[in-house]
Structure 1
Amino acid sequence: MIKEEGNSEDWDLIIKGSTSLFDINFQDIWRYRDLLFMFVKRDFVSFYKQTILGPLWFFIQPIFTTIVFTFVFGNLAGISTDGLPQQLFYLTGITSWNYFSDCLTKTSTVFKDNANIFGKVYFPRLIMPLSIVVSNLVRFGVQLLLLIIMMIYFAMFPASGTSFHVTYAIAFFPLLVLLMALLGLGLGLIITAVTTKYKDLTFLITFGVSLLMYGTTVIYPLSAAPEKYKSIIELNPMTGIIEAFRFAFLGKGEFSFFSLGYSATITVIVLFLGILIFNKTEKNFVDTI
């Protein structure tokens, strides 16, 4: 019911205009949590129901990427892996980077991909990008399982001249996952808001994310980076997250509370800006999409 001016009755639902940039109704998002999980289920089922191997692609992609990275960067280029087994080194970087990049790229097209739904039905628009982050968490969990299986294998059959061990930083694992999710979400929200007006920017997203990977310590350790570029690489907030992730699981990496705090600070700023810009754009994006 719509509440009328001067009516003192208690109504079940009040619909009112909202123009404030900071008017973000998180309580409304919680009320629609069932819709969020419905979108998560939809994303998972629709993506794999017409594939032959189904969820096995969760394993296949990181396995083949690890094989290619091991051959190209490990064997041909001879890039250091900090004394870690090459497969484990690359797999930790791939697992963490894939979750971040999936959250970013899929969120960055949320307005364009769901314009029909947004134009017909009301629900908190943030539900859609949040569902993307949660559904990608399933894929991340499967790839993390693959990493653990590989760790067990190399613990039983150690490679010559390499070693690894789990460290105390494993306690920060939930925080690292949260930072990856929120950073990808924040950047994705900013990009999807911008591309509603400048649609040609969508062509640069995949290319830009691929370039950004080479500016992060996915295929090389921070210790192997040239000294003149090291400070630039450290400005990338994903560098501190991946280094901490690798240090937690494998015991090698330039982990520090300062770098983790820097990554967390940048993540909070990007997420805050992303939500504000998304909140402003979603009010009239249907007219420009």
Structure 2
Amino acid sequence: MDNIFPKKESKDWTLIIKPKTSWFDIQFSDIWRYRDLLMLFVRRDFVSAYKQTILGPLWYVIQPMLTTIMFIVVFDRVAEIPTDGAPPALFYLSGLVIWNYFSTCLTKTSVTFSANSGIFGKVYFPRLIMPISNIISALIGFGIQLLLLFVLLIYFYFFVGVQISLNIYILFLPFLLLLVASLGLGFGILISSLTTKYRDLANLIGFGTQLLMYATPVIYPLSFFEGKYKSLIMINPLTPIIEMFRYSILGVGEFQISSILYSVFFTMVSLFLGILIFNKIEKSFMDVV
């Protein structure tokens, strides 16, 4: 009988997909296992961003340059808002470099579920790969704009005679970048999770991001305010990050270790909550999207 009905050989499965049962059932090891797919998404995001455009990646340079020129005209020449003695072009661009990276991370990750519902419903992969790929692909634009900033620094130093105060705090740039990326990821996936049920929140993303920029010291120094207004701006976790970045390359700005620790704490909490809610929503979002 054994020859007629051979026993079925057991198989060692390489991947077993099971429903998630708790808030903390997060398989971070799957993200590393799917790292090749992560890099494919990063490449896709970069290629598709300026595909079929005339200037292509040059928009990474044109956009901050035009914005900086507008800021110089409106806020420096007309409103006469001080820049703590730094050249206005360098002051505004140094704030825009950090802000643009954060806003890109936030806006891209905030539409993770709605923009990728098609692929999410067809094939399995760790859903966190999608927002993480947005964070990594946004690094390309950040790198180009940071290079533009350093080119202007060199120009102002050699051709204008402006003293550039690069200091040891520039070594903390990777740390600041990690903070910005984590903050954008945390808020982005939190908003993305909420918009699966509350669609009208998606309409507030662009408007809210613009308002948040004016609550961040991008176009003005922190020293421009005093009292309660300064305290309100310090609530923004991006404020110490931008001020520290400016100080590291221009020698202007004010920050304290306590304010940086506040940004770290705020970022960790938002990222933790964002991942928890994202992990809880991802198993049922196809029913409501």
Q: Distance in 1 between matches of 2:256 and 2:112?
A: 35
Q: Which residue of the partner structure matches residue 4 of structure 2?
A: none
Indicate if the aligned counterparts of 1:195 and 1:201 stay in contact, CA closer than 8 A.
Answer: yes
Q: Which amino acid aligns with 1:130?
A: I
Deviations 1:38-58 (A, max 9, x none): 001001111212100000000
CA drift of 1:272 comes to: 0.3
Indicate if the aligned counterparts of 2:110 and 2:190 stay in contact, CA closer than 8 A.
Answer: yes
Q: Which residue of the partner structure matches residue 180 of structure 1?
A: 180
Q: Which residue of the partner structure matches residue 80 of structure 2?
A: 78
CA drift of 1:10 comes to: 3.9
Equivalent runs, 1:95-134 vs 2, <5 Å: 95-134=97-136
Q: Which residue of the partner structure matches residue 169 of structure 2?
A: 169
Distance 1:75 1:163, change over 3 A: farther
Q: Which residue of the partner structure matches residue 283 of structure 1?
A: 283
Indicate if the aligned counterparts of 1:107 and 1:129 stay in contact, CA closer than 8 A.
Answer: yes
Indicate if the aligned counterparts of 1:187 and 1:274 stay in contact, CA closer than 8 A.
Answer: yes
Structure-2-length-normalised TM-score: 0.95
Q: Which amino acid aligns with 1:271?
A: L
Deviations 1:166-225 (A, max 9, x none): 111111100000000000000001100111111111111011011011111000000112
Deviations 1:34-87 (A, max 9, x none): 001100100111121210000000000000000000110011000010000000
Q: Distance in 1 between matches of 2:117 and 2:14?
A: 28
Identity %: 60
CA drift of 1:259 comes to: 1.2
Indicate if the aligned counterparts of 2:217 and 2:239 stay in contact, CA closer than 8 A.
Answer: yes
Indicate if the aligned counterparts of 1:164 and 1:252 stay in contact, CA closer than 8 A.
Answer: no
Q: Which residue of the partner structure matches residue 4 of structure 1?
A: none
Q: Which amino acid aligns with 2:263?
A: S
Structure 1 residue ranges (4+ consecutive) displaced by more than 6 angstroms after TM superposition: none
- The question of 1:266 aligning with 2:266 is answered yes
Indicate if the aligned counterparts of 1:170 and 1:248 stay in contact, CA closer than 8 A.
Answer: yes
Indicate if the aligned counterparts of 1:83 and 1:163 stay in contact, CA closer than 8 A.
Answer: no
Deviations 1:257-280 (A, max 9, x none): 111111111000000000001001
Q: Which residue of the partner structure matches residue 144 of structure 1?
A: 146
Q: Distance in 2 between matches of 1:17 and 1:35?
A: 22
Indicate if the aligned counterparts of 2:83 and 2:91 stay in contact, CA closer than 8 A.
Answer: yes
Q: Distance in 1 between matches of 2:111 and 2:216?
A: 23
Deviations 1:146-171 (A, max 9, x none): 00000000101236xx6431111111
Q: Which residue of the partner structure matches residue 3 of structure 2?
A: none
Q: Distance in 1 between matches of 2:11 and 2:201?
A: 49
Q: Distance in 2 between matches of 1:157 and 1:260?
A: 35
Greater mean alpha carbon deviation, residues 82-91 or residues 40-49: 40-49
CA drift of 1:232 comes to: 0.7
Q: Which residue of the partner structure matches residue 3 of structure 1?
A: none
Indicate if the aligned counterparts of 2:19 and 2:283 stay in contact, CA closer than 8 A.
Answer: no
CA drift of 1:9 comes to: 6.2
Q: Which residue of the partner structure matches residue 252 of structure 2?
A: 252
- Structure 2, unmatched stretches of 5+, are 1-8
Indicate if the aligned counterparts of 2:179 and 2:264 stay in contact, CA closer than 8 A.
Answer: yes
CA drift of 1:228 comes to: 2.4
Indicate if the aligned counterparts of 1:84 and 1:164 stay in contact, CA closer than 8 A.
Answer: no
Q: Distance in 2 between matches of 1:134 and 1:267?
A: 18
Aligned residues: 281
Structure showing greater radius of gyration is 2
Q: Distance in 1 between matches of 2:11 and 2:49?
A: 47
Structure-1-length-normalised TM-score: 0.95
Q: Which amino acid aligns with 2:112?
A: V
Equivalent runs, 1:179-258 vs 2, <5 Å: 179-258=179-258
Indicate if the aligned counterparts of 2:135 and 2:181 stay in contact, CA closer than 8 A.
Answer: yes
Q: Which amino acid aligns with 1:220?
A: Y
